[in-house]
Amino acid sequence: MNLFGTDGIRGIANEDLTCEIAFRLGQAVGLHLSPGKPICVGKDTRISCGMLEAALIAGITSTGRDAICLGVITTPGLSYTVNRFKLGGGVMISASHNPLEYNGLKVFGPDGRKISEETELLFSRMILGEAGCLSLPAGERIGTATDGRGMVGSYVEFLRGFVEPGMSGLRIVVDAANGSASHLAPQVWKALDGDVTFINCSPNGVNINKGCGSTAPAGLAEEVVRGGYDAGFAYDGDGDRCIAVDEKGNVINGDHIMAIMASNMAANNRLAGNTVVGTVMANLGLELYLSSCGIRLLRTPVGDRFVLEEMERGGYTLGGEQSGHIIFGHILPAGDGMLTSLKLARVLAESGRSLSELASCVKPAPQVLVNVECDSPREVVNLPGVQEAVKKVSKDLEGVGRVVVRPSGTEPLVRIMVESQDAATVDRCIRYLKSVIAEQARAWDSRRNPSVS
């Protein structure tokens, strides 16, 4: 059984994700990731990070490995730090864009990349106690934990290197989601001699992602329009996503960002293979625009890990997700919200055009995303009744649209996406699928737990 979803181990802290799990993962990491080198640990700003951090570090040091405590840092910042300082690996404690009550554990190998599925399975067996007795050190061979917060400055300087003089005239609003980027974003953007306003940079342990950040950009949009700013950038809880807002308050999602960056990179001969790697969720409008520019869109399953794998397989330099994970493969092996915003700001400044004009290149096809809550999303999507409903809709949409039904990799949800050039068709298909899946999920949950029926 693999305990890892699309983005690490995740669940409600102290219920699904316990200190025991964190401790055992720490031992697995300590025993198997690049022996002899320290393991770094980072975290976002949610209240449960402290207890999970203590358990994780205890697990790492119990194996004789040293742990370096980076404190609050973004997920891409941890990835960068592992690679920059040639560490044995790293673990990020974060549930990214999820609500406060969730937390997660993301593991990175010595190259700063997420561990393989094979390693995930090994670590899962160890966490579940299926790997046998562990041989642990005693006495002076036990590991130590040290303060590594000073190492984070290297990551800040790395990002500041993408601030260019031509960007100085921009007026920007940055929303840090009261998350990992809250104290880092001001340090990075300070290098820009311009008008930058920061909102939601005051984490208190319980306000991460709360009505702010990349999943709730309405407040950012209001601030941009009210102040007459050129653009706004919203990060998520762990800083690996970026969603933009144009000067009119329109949300510019990952599809638009990839279109703008792909066009610019192709014009400067920096788009390897004239290819962009996206996911099955990428809007048809993005694909049509890229095609008109002679650029190919490759689609992968949902998850930045799958995007990165395809990018590295083909040597491509740009990929990402509609949700705002944008990967510049020639720079970092991870999506980085701050890096994305800096790259987009540079294109905006150089173009002499407004962000709304730049983003108008993509004409999104009507696309609706809805969620159905259920206890067992992976099982529900494979039920015969659900499969038949998906086949029926796929046949109806053949040649004119797409349907994607998948389990969430981070929450107890089934996600439904329907896309077509006809909005009425999208609405009809969404309502049908949502009804069928909700009914099938209730029946499945009742069979598994008769007491709820």
pLDDT of 410: 79
Average pLDDT over residues 351-374: 95
Q: Are 203 and 352 in a shared domain? A: yes
349 and 373 in one domain? no
- Choosing from 337, 359, 381, the residue where a domain stops is 359
Question: Do 338 and 375 lie in a common domain?
Answer: no
The tens digit of pLDDT for each residue in 169-199 reads: 999 999 999 999 999 999 999 998 889 999 9
Same domain, 143 and 229: no
User: Three-state SS string across the chain, please?
Assistant: CCCCEECEEEEEECCCECHHHHHHHHHHHHHHCCCCCCEEEEECCCCCHHHHHHHHHHHHHHCCCCEEEEEECCHHHHHHHHHHCCCCEEEEECCCCCCCCEEEEEEECCCCCECCHHHHHHHHHHHCCCCCCCCCCCHHHCCCEEECHHHHHHHHHHHHCCCCHHHCCCEEEEECCCCCCCCHHHHHHCCCCCEEEEECCCCCCCCCCCCCCCCCCHHHHHHHHHHCCCEEEEECCCCCCEEEECCCCCEECHHHHHHHHHHHHHHCCCCHHHEEEEECCCCHHHHHHHHHCCCEEEEECCCHHHHHHHHHHHCCCEEECCCCCEEECCCCCCCCHHHHHHHHHHHHHHHCCCHHHHHCCCCCCCEEEEEEECCCHHHHCCCHHHHHHHHHHHHHHCCCEEEEEEECCCCCEEEEEEEECCHHHHHHHHHHHHHHHHHHHHHHHHHHCHHHC
- The pLDDT value recorded for residue 453 is 46
Of 328, 359, 390, the domain-final residue: 359
Same domain flag for 217 and 321:
yes
User: Mean pLDDT over residues 289-297, rounded?
Assistant: 97
Look at residue 372 and tell me whether its pLDDT is greater than 50. yes
Same structural domain for residues 168 and 312?
A: yes
pLDDT above 90 for 242: yes
Q: Is residue 2 part of a domain?
A: no
Per-residue tokens: 201: 């940079």
CA nearest to 69, candidates 205, 155, 81, 158: 81
pLDDT for the residue 450: 62
Domain CATH for 107? 3.40.120.10
**Total domains in the fold of the chain:** 3
Examine the residue annotation and report whether 96 is marked as an active-site residue of this protein: yes
Q: Which residues contact 381 (CB under 8 A, 6 or more apart)?
A: 405, 406, 407, 414, 437
- Residue-wise pLDDT for 413-437, tens only, equals 999 999 998 899 999 999 999 999 9
- Distance, in Å, from the CA atom of 345 to the CA atom of 230, rounded to the nearest integer, reads 9
Question: What is the span of the domain harbouring residue 51?
Answer: 9-150
The rounded percent of the chain whose pLDDT value lies above 70 is 99
Q: Are residues 332 and 218 located together in one domain of the fold?
A: yes
Question: Does residue 135 belong to any structural domain of this protein?
Answer: yes
Are both 329 and 286 inside the same structural domain? yes
pLDDT tens-digit series, residues 42-90:
999 999 999 999 999 999 999 999 999 999 999 999 999 999 999 999 9
**Choosing from 62, 94, 96, 408, which is the catalytic residue?**
96
User: Do residue 352 and residue 382 come from a single domain?
Assistant: no
Q: What is the pLDDT confidence band of residue 451, given thresholds at 50, 70 and 90?
A: low
Give the pLDDT confidence score for residue 265 in this predicted structure.
Answer: 98
